[in-house]
Each structure stands twice: as C-alpha cells, then as structure tokens.
Structure 1
Amino acid sequence: MGIIAGIFTRSGGNCDASMLDAMISCQRHRDPSGDVVSINDAGILMGGVDHFDLFAGSTSQVLIDGIVLVEDAGIQEASRQLDTSIPYSSSKAVLFAYRRWRLQFMNKLGGEFSCAIWDVDKNRLILARDPFGHKPLHYYKKTNNTLFFSSEIKGLLAAGVPAELDLVSLSDFLSLNCIPCPATIFKDIYQVPPGSMLIADPGGIRIKTWWEPRIVVDQSITFEDAVSGVSSAFKRSVEQCMLKSETYCFLSGGMDSSALISFATEIANRKIHAVSIGFEEEEENELQDAATMARHVGAEHHSLIVKPDSFFDMLGTLVWHHDSPFTDTSAYPTYFAAKAGAGFTDIILTGDGPDQTMGGSGHYVFAVKNNIFAPRSHSRRLTYGLASGLLETMAKDPVPSLFSKAYRKLYRESLSPVHAAYDIRSYFPDIVKRFLCSDEFWEVHLGNNPYRHPESWFRNAGSLDDVNKYLYSDMKFYLPDDLMIKVDRMCMAHGLETLSPFLDRDLVAIINQLPGSFKVNSKDGKITTKRVLKEICRKRFPPSILNKRKQGFGIPLEKWLRQDDGKFLKEILLDERTLNRPYFKKKSLKNLVETFSLNKGDYFYPSPNALAGLLTLELWHRKYLD
C-alpha cells in the first residue's frame, strides 16, 4: 500500500503545501491506515502515505506504492542498517538499492510497486514503475520548470492541473478499447511507462527504460523441459508472494487462479483461503467450479453473489476510480471481489498474467485458426479496398444486412494483417467508428491512425513466430494498459494490495524463451491454449476444471443493459448533454441505441462493450469536465 504525490521545481522555488494535502487526501482509499509523511525542501514538495517515518538525516528519501520483494538476504540485512529506529520496510530496501546501484536499482528488486526518490545530493527526482505497470504513477509538466506527480490522476487534478480531454487518446480508446501508455484520456497528463523511470533534475526531464519484455526463442528447449522450468519458476514465485501468516487468493474457477491455489496449497503448511464471487445468472456463474477446486486442494472458500441492480449504480464509482472511461466491464466483479477480499486481508494473490504471456485469450485462437497474420499483397488489398468502397455506399449503416456484412468482410481484407487483427478485437471497428463519429472527430482518427500502435509493436517483435508477436504486443499494451489498471484501481478502492505470481520477471523470462507452439498449439484441427500451463495442471486439477471451456471474469452485460427495456442506457446515451457532445453524430448515436434496444444487431454492431464504453465516457465527462 501507499500513496505518492508531489511537486518538483527545477528552479528550486517553494511549493504550496496545501496542494500536497489535497493530492493525498483524494487518494486516501489507496491506504486508509498509513501515516501521512512529507518532504518540503528547496525545489521539492513530496509526500504520501507509507508505514514508516522518513529516514532521519538521510540524503535520499523514498516513497513507495505497492510491495517490494527482495530475495537477496544481503540487501535485506544491509537495508535494515539504514535506520535502526524503524523496522525493515520496502522503502528501506529501495533506498539501499538506490544508494548501492543508483539508476540500476530497479533491476535488483522484485515485487509490484512504483516509487518516488528524492536525491538531495544530486537535486534529482526519480519516479519509477515496475515491469508490467501493476502500480500507477502519473505526471504533468506545467512548464519546463515545474513537474506534478501522483499515483492516480485525481491527485494531479486536486493540485489544479487542468482537466482537458485529449482527442487523440479518445480516438485510440475507441479503436483499441483502452489507451496505450504513456498517454491518458487527459491532455498533457502522462503515465510513467511500465519498466521505466522518469528522472528530473536541473538539467531537464527524461525517461529511462530499465526493463521491457523481450522474447528470444530458444529452439533447443524441449516441451518437457519447458513444463519443468515453468513449473519450478512459478512455484518459487508463489512462495515468494506468500508474505503473511495466512494466504488469500482470488479463485474464479478458471485455469489460472486454480493453478495458483494448487501451488499455494502445496507450499503452505497451513490452510489457504480462496475468495470468489458469482452472479445469479447461471451462464456467467463459475462459483461451482471455484468451490470444486477449493475442495480439491483443501482450501477454505469464501464466496459472494453479486446482483445486477447494483451495476448501474456502481458505474459512476468505477469511473471515478479509473479516472477514465473504460470498456473492460470485468472491473465490476473485480471491485466486489476486492471488497470481499479486503474483509479478510490486506494482501491477496491473483492469477493475472498467463493469458498474455502463454496465450490463453480467444483472439489467439482466432489468429491461429484463421492464419490472420499471413502476408497480403498490395494488389490484393487494393482490389478489396475498391470493392469495399462500392459496397460502402449501399450499406448506409452498420446494422446487419446482406450489404453491410459483405462490406465488413471486404473492408477487413483490404487492411494490413495487424490492422485487421485489432479491428476485429475493437468494440468500435473502423466501419462502426466512421458511422458514429462527427466529421471533425473522424479527421482526428485519420490524422492519428490508432493502429499505428499495434503496427509498431509487431515491428519491434522482429522475426518471431506469429503467436509470440501477438503475445509481445499484449505484454506491451493490453496487460499494463487494461488488466493492471483494472486490478489496481478496483482493489485499491478497498485498500487491498495484490501480488501476481505469474508476472514474476524470472518466470516471464523463461516463458519468453519458448516457441509459440508451446503456448498456442494447433494439431489435428484442435487448438490448445496455454499448452505448457495446461500440462503443468494436468495432474493437479479434477477433470471438470482441466477440461472446462474458458469463461473469463465476465458479467452478463447484454442482459443487464436490456434491463427495464434499456432504461439506464437510454437515460444516459439519449440525454441531450450526451447527444450534444462534439464527438458523435446525434442520428448515429440514436441508431446505435435503437438497434440494440430492438435487438436488430449482432456481434459487430452494436457491441454491448461498446455501449458500456460510451456510458463510462459520458459519466467520466460529467464527473471530470462538465
């Protein structure tokens, strides 16, 4: 736990202490029990919440948000000697590592944390984040002279940073379902990138990358060696994350969380606790599977049923914790799972990560099954582009019809393979987005093609096989910019810290040596996802868990949106305030809602997650900009 906030001036001028108070107080949910600490020195006003006193007489001070894991006994012992008046803490470990290794200090530490270090001797501020961005850290550069920084964006806004929508980020959000780092939905407010540090001193402000995901396949590794290596590394990671006398884990009943609870039970010499939530709707309820797995390993199971009547009441709260619109509606069950978990503990282990490192999501299956990354000749794309242009005039709108469905297919065939892959994943694919957007906003899309991002990720992946390229892209984007944001904000809404053993750096390094066929494999017409993990779990799971269809941490979204004839949906999206926003055409927005309400749509238009994204966008607009 912890909160980071502060103001840095390169000129060394004084800062307003009342701003710091406001920045901290609006983030108090992240750590309701810790003590507020602060530094007010020439050129720096820095503070937050931590469970220690600042180090007396030290020439460097540290603030932590999250949990630092240190395997090296030498680092632990040396950091204890820094200030014997206070007990060992994560902050002491970071301070020792910084003193010893300076700007290489993050490479020596594990865990899931962000930190701020004020180096008095060098008049230098360092803001650093963990590899996958588990913990947030945002900044705003008012001028070349002043830098504001905060764990959450709301801390910056509390200091008077202007709240203005970034149209390019909004366009990226609609096409990619979330916003690629370092941008945010707010103009001129940025994230410190995962695996990076921001360094501010009298010479300027710069970003230094200290870690990034690298996939370098070792073709000599056998599948059996891969299973053994991943299993051993995961076991070490789980053990390192079991910090408390009683260990609590989220358990959904899926493969990832079931693997976690299985290994944790094997390691522990005491009962492990499993926390699960479910829904009244059978189609989205995995509670029975979670209960089966808990019984199988002998874990104590704590479960909670969530009812749909609270979903719409909660949307505004979820938006406030995100500081942004969002399309990932699994934030809703995550919020309640965290609320349940916080009733038992302040640290919980999660099964997040293997879908993006080992290939567990449906889009990997689709990619392999349809060979979507196969090269497309320029002439072929041009031909399909001309044909789709003719059908565009006949289709009129994206409502399912013979013409519109043909237009969809031809248009996607005209795109580059990477563009097409991400257009398929989008809740606002190009055709839908063009139909909805005002002419002015569509010009933003044309001038800043959102698919420039995945195209660059795939280029940077080099000559890897298609599966590993796709995984690299998700490790660079979806994992930090959707999954980690959701988990952190929903859990820290209740002051609940999380640790994700699957995202241990050493474990990921082993996984990143494996060929794509060890992760997603196609054989005799059958596609196996997370092949290595499934083999590891073969003797650990009951058959009903090992062979179950992947379900994900979803909600019955479409059913809930139709509740009371779509009353909430219509009240928000057809309200004059919404219709008068400059981003969308009124007629098109009405068509979207009407098509959904009359059940005339399909998977493509209108997507329930697209509607959820528009709802959260409007609620965000009212909360932050109106």
Structure 2
Amino acid sequence: MSGLCGWIGHGAAEQDLIDRMAAPLARFDGAAIEAVNGARAAVAVAAGDAARHLYVADGLLVALWGHPVAREPALAEVAAAHGLAAALAQQWRHGPEHVCDALAGPFTLCIVDERAGEAVLAIDRMGVQPLTWQLAGEALLFASSADALRVHPLARAAIDAQGLYNYVYFHMVPSPGTIYRGQQRLLPGELLHYRQGRVETRRYWRMAFQENGARSFDDLREEFMDQLKSAVRNATAHGRIGAFLSGGTDSSTIAGILCDVSGNGADTYSIGFEAQGYDEMEYARIASRHFGTRHHEYYVTPDDVAAAIPQVAAICDQPFGNASAVPAFYCARMARADGITRMLGGDGGDELFGGNERYARQHVFALYDRVPRLLRKALLEPAVFNFPGGERVRLLRKARSYIEQASVGMPARLETYNLLSRYGPQQVFTDDFLAGADIGQPLAALARTYGQSEAKSLINRMLALDLKITLADNDLPKVMKACELAGVEVAFPFLDDAMVAFSAGLTPQQKLNGTQLRWFFKKALTGFLPDAIITKQKHGFGLPFGVWLQQHKPLQQLASDSLMDLRKRGIVRGDFIEQLVGQHLAEHAGYHGTMVWVLMMLEQWFRQRNVTL
C-alpha cells in the first residue's frame, strides 16, 4: 500500500533495510518509493508524487504521506515555495502539537530530530491513514502497515491472543491494539512523542460537540451546502475522479455535489448482487438519472467472491472480517479499468449526522431510564416478569425483551446481539487459547472510549464512539484497502475538517429528532436528492455470502478448507466449527454465515504470513 515507514535509534542508516521495509507499502499499487537517511534514523514514503513529501537537513528528517493542506496562509506560502515537508520543518521548533494543528486533511507524519534524539509520529484527526509503531529497546520502529514494520530485524511478530479474540468479537482488531504482541497503532487525532528511547502518546485533537446551537435552519443549510461543495472540490484536486454510488443518501449526495462542482456528469460506480434482499441497484440508478452521471454497474458473482478472498486477506495487515470489502474492491477495480485514479466515498455521513438505525433504537431504550425507579422495580418489572404464562403472550415477551435490553448500561447495550457473545466464548474458543485472552477486554475498551467523550447527549456520545469503532477501525480500512487492491486512491469528503466541525455544531435533535434519523441532513437535502433516496430504508452494502454459501460449491470448498485448517491452529474448538457449518448455517444462512466469513478470513490471513501464535 502507499504509506510511510522508518525508525530512529537503531545503528547506522541502512539503505537496503529501509528499501526492504518500504517494499510492502508499494506491493499492490506500485507507488514510487523515496527514502532519506540520517545517522541513526531512516524514513521512506511510498506514494504518488502529490502525496509524497520528504525533507532532510542538519539532522532533521520530515516525512509526510497524504494530501493534507496547510491551515494558515503563511504556512501555505512556504509550502508552495519549498514543499510542505520543508514548511513543517520550520514549525517543528514550536512543538509537536503545533505541527499537527498546522495540517488539515488526511495524513501520516513523521519528524525525526537526530540532534535532540527526538521524534514525533502522528495521523490525521479522523484516522483515515493508519500508523503502527513498536518500541524495541531504545529504537522506535514505525510503518503504515504491520507488514512493513515486520521487515525490520528488531520487530517482534508473535501473534497476540488478545488481538485474535478482539478480531472475532469485533470482526476487526480495534486500535490501538494490533494482532502482534508489542505493536500498537495510533488513534485518530493522536501523536507519539519519542525522546531518548522513551515514548508518550497523547491526543492533539478530539471531537468537541457544541450541543446548544441556536442558528436558524436556513443559515445552517446554506453553510452545509457550501461546506459540501468545498469538501468535494478539495477532494477532486488530484487525479481523474469517480465516485462510489450505492444509492444511499451519503453516496448519492457526494455524486450529486461532484456533478455540481465539476460542471458536467460525473463517473459513478455501483455494485449489485443477484440475491433477493441484497441488491440496491435501482436506487443507484435513480440517483444517477437524477444527477445525470455516467453510470457504471457490475454484478458481483459467487465466483468473484471466491477469487477475491485471498487477495483481500493478503492486502490487510491485520485480520479483517468486513465482507463488504469484496464489493468495494470490484467497484474500485471497475473504475480503475476506466482510467479513474481517485474515488470519492460517502463514508462518515452516518457517524457525523446520525444515520445508523441503532441510534433510534437506543433512544427508545433510553426512555426507560426516565421512568421513576420505584415504579420500574416495584410495579412494572414484577408485573412483566412474574405474569403467569407470560412467555406465551407475544406482547409480554416483547416487554420482557425491551426491559432486559434497556436495563443494560451503555455502551454494553450496543453489543446485545454480538455474535461471539451469543455463541459464548467458551463454546467458540479452546481452553488453551482463552487462557491467554481477557474476554472482558472488548467491552472494557468500548466503555473507555465511550467515557472519553465530553458530550452530554446520548446521540453525540454514540457518534463519538462510532467515529472510532465503526468508522476509523472498520469502514475506512475497508474502503482504503479495497481501493489500494484495485490501484486507485480514495477520498472521503464528509471527513473534511470543516465538515466535521460543522456537524459538531448541530444540536442533538438536529441529528436524531425522536426516532427520525439524520433530521437536519435529510431536510437540508430535500429538493436536491430524489425523494426516493431521502425516504428509502437504510440497507447497507452487505454481501450475500451466507446465502451463496448454501448454493455455490467453490465457496463451500474454500470455506470448508479454511475452517478445517484454522481448527488445527488450536484457536477455535473443532466441535464449534462442526456445529457452525453442519447445523447453524442451515438454520439461518445470513446470520451464521457472518461467523463463517470471519473465521475463514482469519485463516486466509494466516496463510499469507509466516507467523505463530
């Protein structure tokens, strides 16, 4: 992948070593690699010319990957004259936070000051671009991909049982953890400060919600539309542009704005499935006709899925179980074949403006907290749970379920339907494996992240959690990796810094009005988006893997072989695999097919790397 890698505090600079570390970063997209060396440090960036920034002078090494811009006009002038990396070198004397604050947009940054034995690593506010690091003695190793970091002779590459457990729980490995012991990843808006062999991580930015806004709807709508156009215009500054178009509100909005700012029809790309309940192509066509885009379609087949599985496992440096990476890859590959070099994605709209259905669901559960405790405990709950024969009365069963879920505190309540919890960790994993993992760690980590937000409203606290867990840890890597595999860049206009700040200024009710999702967003875009897009039920970009697994022999064979090999690793219980494939899948292919996919992708990931547990 394109990215950045290097070290500080490890012997003399070795050109061969930094070149070998950088090679995995360019493995799939063939990006150009440029490296700089110091006495005890080296840095390399693999990226296209516009996304590769390097500077070295007097023991100071600056490396930057991405397309950020300088926030201040004076800094922008220096960058225009001497390059952005040189401009940031001038900011270094003001401290790490000052350097990070000087940048807007997605980036990964490294500054090494060999004279002071000091370095800073940082990633952008929304965590679009990752960075993994490891302290080996007094040496700091870092890379955008763990595959690159592992090349360094000081890097440790033993598998972390907790990382594996977290993967099966979340279907990805949440940051700052990784799949390797001793390695960590920076969080969104976080920097690492290295001094004389010691490291400290701290946040230089955190989402700050302004919950008491009093601006008129008309003023907000005007600013919103201006920000949308500015964000899309900024995202189209590099390369030949296309846009994902699923037919949902986010991708349709980006496609429409792209047509508006470009002054002509945009190239849009959609994926469909020949499976009942999974295909949304008609909505994409509605949006395309409405905006006049040059629309391109591809229907993914089971054979396509089988072919893509090893490729997706190969490109992900951490185990990754989001099956939507497959259709995203075929969508991006179709665009690349047309000469598109940069795709625009609508990711982030749900997490900024309140679009996930669970927000409305949790609002309903939260209403139970408003019932006086005495009334709940002395009257309601005894009546509902002690009613004779209540399990046979549908209304009482629903009331019991509601009370049981409403009684679970946040954010644990969000995990009520977690697959691993439903099966039970002891039924899924071997005893030897569980001895090395803390089964309470995932919920504890969620609670820490949830508790870090200073938002007062439930909706904003959930949004802050999802910006990290759903977006930075899951959806962004999915699209980034899919596009990298296809050989195209990707940009996310909704994650433009100014757009993020705008969303933070909306009131909670403008995001979730009762149970109305995206209240402001949809009202502001009424008349711009087709009515059918505004009113459609949220669907997502799901892959019908479980359904196809019942019918397609090559997929069945691939899944069976993968699970049988995973069984030999001593992680998952053999009887659980047999029950999953032999019983659960037949009972509910869509539901249990997800766990088959997650375990299959874990084995496929292992096959791509020579690592041990």
Could you tell me which residue of structure 2 aligns to residue 7 of structure 1? 7
TM-score scaled by length of structure 1: 0.85
Aligned partner of 1:500 in structure 2 is 492
Q: Which residue of 2 aligns with 1:142?
A: 136
Aligned counterparts of 1:538 and 1:99: Cα–Cα separation in 2: 49
| 8 A Cα contact 2:265 2:291, kept in partner | no
Per the TM alignment, residue 545 of structure 1 is displaced from its structure 2 partner at its CA by: 2.0
Quote the residue 1:396 is aligned against. none
Take 1:588 and 1:92, find their aligned partners in 2: how far apart are those partners? 56
- Identify the residue that residue 355 of structure 2 maps to in structure 1: 360
Amino acid at match of 1:159: H
Letter in 2 for 1:457: T
- Distance in 2, matches of 1:246 and 1:210, equals 33
Provide the rounded CA distance (Å) in 2 between the counterparts of 1:410 and 1:541. Answer: 35
The one of 5, 24, 28 equivalent to 1:26 is: 24
Aligned-partner Cα distance in 2 for 1:338–1:583: 34
Equivalence for 1:80 = 80
Q: 1:587 aligns with which of 563, 575, 599?
A: 575
Tell me which residue corresponds to 1:174: 168
Q: 1:591 to 1:54 in 2, by over 3 A?
A: closer
Aligned residue identity for 1:621: F
Aligned to 2:560: 571
- Conserved 8 A contact 2:162-2:438: no
Give the alignment partner of residue 612 of structure 1, picking from 572, 575, 597. Answer: 597
Q: Give RMSD over aligned pairs.
A: 3.3
Q: Does 1:194 align with 2:188?
A: yes
Query: Which of the numbers 342, 346, 350 marks the counterpart of 1:347?
Result: 342
Moved more, 218-227 or 113-122: 218-227
Partner-residue secondary structure (3-state), 1:159:
coil
The answer to whether the Cα contact below 8 Å between 1:118 and 1:124 also exists between their aligned partners in 2 is yes
Q: What displacement does 1:18 show?
A: 2.8
Q: Distance in 1 between matches of 2:483 and 2:368?
A: 36
- Which stretch has the larger CA shift, 36-45 or 562-571? 562-571
C-alpha separation between the residues in 1 aligned to 2:548 and 2:318?
22
Match of 1:41 among 27, 38, 43: 38
Tell me, in whole angstroms, the C-alpha distance in 2 between the residues paired with 1:369 and 1:102.
43
Query: 5 Å matches for 1:488-527?
Result: 488-522=480-514, 527=515
CA distance in 1 between partners of 2:406 and 2:239 (Å): 58
The amino acid that maps onto 2:23 is S
Matched, 1:534 2:503: no
Aligned residue pair count: 589
Deviates more, 1:560-569 or 1:490-499: 560-569
How far did 1:302 drift? 2.7
Paired residues of 2:343 and 2:491 also in contact (CA < 8 A): yes
| AA in 2 matched with 1:112 | P
Within 2, Cα distance between the matches of 1:438 and 1:574?
A: 14
Structure 2 unaligned blocks of 5 or more: 386-393
- Native 8 Å contact 1:7 1:15 kept in 2: no
Indicate conservation of the 8 Å contact 2:122/2:192, yes or no: yes
Contact 1:175/1:428 (8 A) holds in 2: yes
Specify the alignment match of 2:298 in structure 1. 304
TM-score for the superposition, normalised by structure 2: 0.87
Paired with 2:589 and 2:330, the residues of 1 have a C-alpha distance of: 30
Equivalent positions of 1:380-419 (< 5 A) are 413=405, 416-418=408-410
2:209, 2:455 within 8 Å by CA — same for their partners in 1? Answer: no
Residue 5 of structure 1 aligns to a residue in which SS? strand
- Contact 2:343–2:489 under 8 Å retained in 1: yes
1:600 aligns with 587
What's 1:153 paired with?
Answer: 146
SS in 2 for 1:213: coil
2:260 paired with 1:275: no
Describe the shift of the 1:191–1:511 C-alpha distance in structure 2 as closer, same or farther (beyond 3 A).
same
Q: How does 1:62-77 map to 2 (within 5 A)?
A: 62-70=62-70, 72-77=72-77
- Given the alignment of the two structures, is residue 439 of structure 1 paired with residue 431 of structure 2, yes or no? yes
Partner SS state of residue 163, structure 2:
helix
Measure, in 2, the Cα distance between the counterparts of 1:472 and 1:375: 23
> Which stretch of structure 1 is more off in the superposition, 172-181 or 327-336?
172-181
Percent identity between matched residues is 22
Residue 254 of structure 1: CA displacement? 1.0
CA distance in 1, matches of 2:165, 2:142: 25
Distance in 1 of aligned mates of 2:469 and 2:513: 23
Cα offset, 1:530, TM superposition: 1.4
Give 3-state SS (helix, strand or coil) of 1:451's partner: helix
Equivalent residues of 2:54, 2:64 under 8 A apart: no
What is the rounded CA distance, in whole Å, between the counterparts of 2:402 and 2:438 in structure 1? 20
In structure 2, the residue matched to 1:264 is 258
Residue 310 of structure 2 is matched in structure 1 by: 316
Report how far residue 409 of structure 1 moved.
5.5
2:449 aligned residue:
457
Q: Is the 8 A contact 1:250 1:275 kept in 2?
A: yes
Gaps of 5+ in 1: 83-87, 389-401
Moved more, 183-192 or 42-51: 42-51
What do residues 279-298 of structure 1 show as CA deviations (whole Å, max 9, x unaligned)?
33353233332232122112
Give the Å deviation of 1:57: 4.5
* TM-superposed deviation, 1:166: 1.2
Matched residue, 1:286: 280
* TM superposition shift of 1:199: 2.1
Deviation at 1:235, TM superposition (A): 2.5
